[in-house]
Every structure is written in structure tokens, then in C-alpha cells.
Chain A
Amino acid sequence: MNCDETARWIDPLVDGELDARNTAEVQAHLAGCQGCQGRYEAHRTLSSSIRGMDLGYSAPESLRQRINEALEAETSSTATEGKSSVKERASARRGQVPARSGASRWLMWAGWPVAVAASAMLATVLLQQRSMEADDVVAAHVRSLLVDHLNDVVSTDHHTVKPWFAGKIDFSPPVPDLKSRGFELVGGRLDYVQRQPVAAVIYRKHGHIINVLAALPGHGLGELSHSERVQGYSLRAWRQAGLDLVAISDIDPRELVTLEEGYESPPPQSAD
């Protein structure tokens, strides 16, 4: 790892956000590079000074009171209004928000339908939940390509790769032989998505690397849609044998469909 690569990981190291392998690599570089070590120390000191200084603010009591009053107004209007439309209720609420300070005049801009805007915002929150997971899958894929961290077990033989996961993770990911479909098995490794351990099985086709991540249901991969593109990568997610799987690569998305088919109907092979 050189200084440019290290620079990128210094703050994640300060923040404890770096995985074990990258931590080891960055620390190895820091040990031999005064410049990077100095930058790391500076950022670490800065971070702990800021945290030690108690720079946050307490919400003033007057603000808490204002909020309570506004919420009371909100609940009493909701309780007494019966069947009025969403729009009417929204305007009724607006009328009841007390505008105390002079600066709260800007609240007047809330003259657009608040309820509609708020539900749009909510949808965004939910969408982002999913794309966050997708981003994480992409991050795992990119990490595997960036640092020399593609495989923890290197083998073109699925009889070697599959047992390697035993004892390292609570489930056994499928490792089908997909040679007949043109996918060459490269190896396997453990990774993390949404802070959950996942099994990664790596294939290669026409020089493209494909990571196939597997996790227990609801452990990091469950929110992905069947097929999507994120940051230029294709993702294909499916559920198989009680596991959530997702394949990711920069390969033609149709190849991922072929890969998924190969997973779901592996060609005949000797006893697994």
C-alpha cells in the first residue's frame, strides 16, 4: 500500500470503520512512513479533542415547551377532525403551529402541502434503506478488487472452497461448479455487509470478477431488489436454500442471469 492509497483509509482507521484486513495493511504502512503516521496522529488527536470538549448544544427548555404545545395542538386537531381530508387536516395543523420567535416567519414557506412532502420524504428514507445495502454490496465488491483481498481461500475446486467456510460462518454457502456456463471458480472469503458476516464466493468470466455474497435471511442482503444497477455495477439478488444471495460484477447483467440459473440448477456433479 502506498501513501496515496493509505491517505484514503486514515480517517476510517481513526473512526474504527476499517475492516481487520485493511486495518492491518494501513498500520503496516504507517509503521514505515512518518508522513502518514503524522497525519494519522493529527486526525486522531483532533477527533478525540473535539469529542472531549463537549461541543454539542442542549435543546433550550423554551424549545421543548414550544414543541409540546405544537404537538398538543396537533393531537387535539387530529382527534376532533373526523373525516376531513388529508389536505384540510394539514392546513388545520399549520394554523395551529405557534409561531413564537421572529425568525419562525420562515415557517410560512410551509404553505405547500406538508403531508405530501412528508410522505415523499418517508419514501426516500425507505428507498435509501435498500440502496444503502446495495452500496454496501458494491463497497464489498470494490474492496475485494482494490486491495489484494479477493480471496482468503484460493482454489478452482469447489470441494476445497465449500468446506473452507465451515466453522468460519454459521451456514454453508452454495459453491456450484459453473464451468459449463463459462464461470471459473476463483476462491472464497468472508466479508461484511451491514455489519453482518457474509460468505463471498468469487468467479471469473472473460476477465470480469463476480462476487457472489450469501447471508442468512435478514442478515444484510434481504432488502435488495431482484435486479439493479448501482454505481455502474450490476447486482442480482435471489433467495435459495434458505439464504439470501447477491451476485455483483461489472460484467454484462445478462451474464448474472446465466449465473443465477447456474446456481439454481447446477450441472450434475460428483457427490458434494
Chain B
Amino acid sequence: MMGNAVDTRAQRFRDLIEPRLNDAYTLARYLSRDPSVAEDIVQEASLRAFRHVESLRSGGEARAWLLKIVRNCFYAWREKTGQVNFQSLDVDSLGEDISSVTEEADEAQLDLDPQRILERTMKRDAVREMIEALPVQFREALVLRELNDLSYREIAELTSMPIGTVMSRLARAREMLRKMWLERAGEGVLS
């Protein structure tokens, strides 16, 4: 009996949670702005998801459900480590950019021209940095919408905020990002 329950749970985890780990890691990465903290958050969130995977009623809600757990783990970490006023870009996240350029160049199989890969990767890193520079409440709204592709309703549920707040945070996030983008474009970083 016990073994069966465990098997079912493991199966559900493989079907519903595992395919969403990239989404989970993306959110954790942008929220924490630290690759190794993001890994710890996703590991903790996966364990919690595993323990409660039976409560998922349908596969359709699995992604938002997992992301909600990731977000809770992030805020718990943030509170615990007293990073609440941690706002600007930190040295660590700039330091690891060099390795991520080469990693991601490996992934970009579609266009093998080294010059173009470099340009595209630099542009991508520049935009990632700008997103990371947004205050956390705007950053999460933007990432949940544009990178995790959640609907307003899902974001409202996940963040326990009214839809109106989701709407205004997303609008603010885009406005801030647009301004940063224009500044960077002025410096020639972005076209």
C-alpha cells in the first residue's frame, strides 16, 4: 500500500513538476539574483511540491502551483537572510556573467556565427541585468508574466494580490524597464 502511494506520488511528480523545473529555476534566479541560492530554492520547493503533489487537481494548474511554492521559498530565504533591503545589482551576479556567456553560447545552436552569438548573448545579458535591477515586486510581476507566461489571474492568485495591483505593477515594471532600455540604447549597449 505504502509503496504504491509513493510510486504514484513519484509518477505525479515526474509528470507534473519535473517538466516545470526550468520555469521554477527561472523565477528563482530572477528573484534571488544568485545562481546557487536559486538552486537551493528550487530544491526546497521541489521537495515541498513532492510532499503535496496529490493535492494538485489538474496538470493545468501545476506550473502556477509550483511557482507559488518557489516564490514562498524565496521570500522565506529573503527574510531569513535579512536581504530585504538588498536592492542594487550585486557584485556576484556581475562576476558570473563571464561564465554564462560561454555556457549560453553553447546552447545557441541555431546560429553558429561567433560574432552574432556574442552580440546576442551580450544583449540578452544586458536585458537580464535590467530586469534584475527592478525592485522585487515589479520584477516578479514582469517575470511571472513575460518569462513564465502566466495570466493576470494566475499571477493574482499566486501573489495574493488583486488583479488591479497586478495590472499596475506590470505597467510600472514595463515603464521602468523601457526607461532603462532607452538609457542603455543611448550608451550603445542595446539597439
Please give the residue numbers on chain A whose beta carbons come within 8 Å of chain B beta carbons, in ascending order: 7-8, 10-12, 15, 17, 42-43, 46-47, 49-51, 53-60, 62-64, 66-67, 70-71, 74-75, 78-79, 93, 97, 101-104, 106-107, 109-110, 114-115, 118-119, 121-122, 124-126, 128-129, 132, 135-136, 139, 194-195, 231
How many whole Å from A134's CB to the nearest CB in chain B?
Answer: 11
A128 B22 Cβ-Cβ under 8 A: no
B147 A55 Cβ-Cβ under 8 A: yes
A78 B21 Cβ-Cβ under 8 A: no
Q: Which residues of B (20-59) have their CB < 8 Å from a CB of A?
A: 21-26, 29, 34, 36-40, 42-44, 46-48, 50-52, 55
Contact of B68 with A by CB under 8 A: yes
A57 B29 Cβ-Cβ under 8 A: yes
Instruction: Name B157's contact: one of A121, A122, A132 (CB within 8 Å).
Output: A132
A103 B178 Cβ-Cβ under 8 A: no
How many whole Å from A227's CB to the nearest CB in chain B?
Answer: 20
B167 A11 Cβ-Cβ under 8 A: yes
A66 B178 Cβ-Cβ under 8 A: no
Contact of B80 with A by CB under 8 A: yes
Contact of B127 with A by CB under 8 A: yes
Measured between beta carbons, the chain B residues less than 8 angstroms from A107 are 40, 44
Measured between beta carbons, the chain A residues less than 8 angstroms from B81 are 106
Measured between beta carbons, the chain A residues less than 8 angstroms from B157 are 128-129, 132
Please give the residue numbers on chain B whose beta carbons come within 8 Å of chain A beta carbons, in ascending order: 2-3, 6, 9-10, 13, 21-26, 29, 34, 36-40, 42-44, 46-48, 50-52, 55, 65, 68-69, 72, 76-77, 80-81, 107, 123-124, 127-128, 131, 145-147, 151-153, 156-157, 160, 162-164, 167-168, 170-171, 174-175, 177-178, 181
Measured between beta carbons, the chain B residues less than 8 angstroms from A125 are 55, 65, 68
Central interface residue in B24, B51, B65, by most chain A CB within 10 Å: B51
Smallest CB-CB A-B distances: 9 pairs:
A59-B25, A103-B36, A59-B21, A56-B26, A11-B171, A104-B40, A109-B80, A132-B157, A67-B46
B22 A56 Cβ-Cβ under 8 A: yes
Q: Contacts A11-B167, A57-B38 given; 7 further ones with Cβ under 8 A? A: A8-B167, A17-B151, A57-B22, A64-B21, A78-B2, A103-B36, A124-B160
How many whole Å from B25's CB to the nearest CB in chain A?
Answer: 4
A56 B47 Cβ-Cβ under 8 A: no
In the bound complex, how far is the Cα of B177 from the Cα of A117, in angstroms?
A: 36
B125 (CB) vs chain A CBs: closest residue: A55
How many whole Å from A120's CB to the nearest CB in chain B?
Answer: 10
B78 (CB) vs chain A CBs: closest residue: A106
Measured between beta carbons, the chain B residues less than 8 angstroms from A11 are 167, 170-171, 174
In the bound complex, how far is the Cα of B124 from the Cα of A167, in angstroms?
A: 50
A63 B25 Cβ-Cβ under 8 A: yes
With A11-B167, A71-B50, A135-B163 as contacts: A60 and B72 at CB distance below 8 Å: no
A46 B24 Cβ-Cβ under 8 A: no
B43 A67 Cβ-Cβ under 8 A: yes
A74 B124 Cβ-Cβ under 8 A: no
A-B contact pairs, 16 of them (CB 8 A): A12-B167, A17-B152, A47-B146, A51-B146, A56-B26, A74-B47, A75-B9, A101-B40, A103-B39, A104-B40, A109-B77, A122-B55, A125-B55, A125-B65, A129-B157, A135-B163
B181 A63 Cβ-Cβ under 8 A: no
With A74-B47, A79-B3, A109-B80 as contacts: A57 and B178 at CB distance below 8 Å: no
Measured between beta carbons, the chain A residues less than 8 angstroms from B55 are 122, 125-126
How many whole Å from A141's CB to the nearest CB in chain B?
Answer: 13
With A55-B124, A107-B40, A109-B80 as contacts: A71 and B65 at CB distance below 8 Å: no
Instruction: Name A53's contact: one of B9, B22, B124 (CB within 8 Å).
Output: B124
Instruction: Name B131's contact: one of A17, A55, A109, A118 (CB within 8 Å).
Output: A55
With A75-B6, A78-B2, A128-B157 as contacts: A59 and B43 at CB distance below 8 Å: no
Measured between beta carbons, the chain B residues less than 8 angstroms from A46 are 174, 177-178, 181
Measured between beta carbons, the chain A residues less than 8 angstroms from B164 are 139
A12 B152 Cβ-Cβ under 8 A: yes
